Amino acid sequence: EIEQAVREKVLQEGKQEGLQQGLQQGLQRGLQEGLLEGRMEGIQKGRMEGMLEGEMKGEARGEAKGEAKLLLRQLSRRFQPLPNRISERVYAASPDTIEIWADRVLEAKSLNEVFAE
């Protein structure tokens, strides 16, 4: 009977130790899987945000280039021939500045009036 009690106690301790080890391994595995899943979600979200930002920047650049091209066309029709420096200046300007110049080109009598500071 003592032998049976000892055997049961050892068995219970073994079960308890096995349960603790299994729980620890399960927690560790769950943590690793959670980290991996979180990392993958973060990477995906970062990619999407990067793509959207790149798309928006590309659209803004395209619009600015189109506005510059239109202004140069208006300028060249009104004040021929255009000096090369004008093209460089227009393409280097901000969209807001191009808009101001585009408004001025309608009534300006000279290039100097369009580009007056």
**What is the pLDDT, as a whole number, of residue 115?**
94
Q: What is the count of structural domains for the chain?
A: 1
- Measured CA to CA, the distance from residue 26 to residue 45 in angstroms comes to 28
Distances (CA, A) of 37 to 34, 56, 60, 65, 87: 5, 29, 35, 42, 52
**What whole-number distance in Å separates Cα of residue 3 and Cα of residue 16?**
20
Mean pLDDT across the chain, nearest whole number? 91
Q: Quick one: pLDDT band at residue 102, thresholds 50, 70, 90? A: very high
Stretch 59-80: mean pLDDT, rounded? 93
What per-residue confidence (pLDDT) applies to 85? 93
For residue 64, give the amino acid letter: A
pTM: predicted TM-score of the whole model, two decimal places: 0.59
Domain range enclosing 20: 2-114
pLDDT digits (tens, 9 = 90+) for 7-36: 888 888 888 888 888 888 888 888 888 888
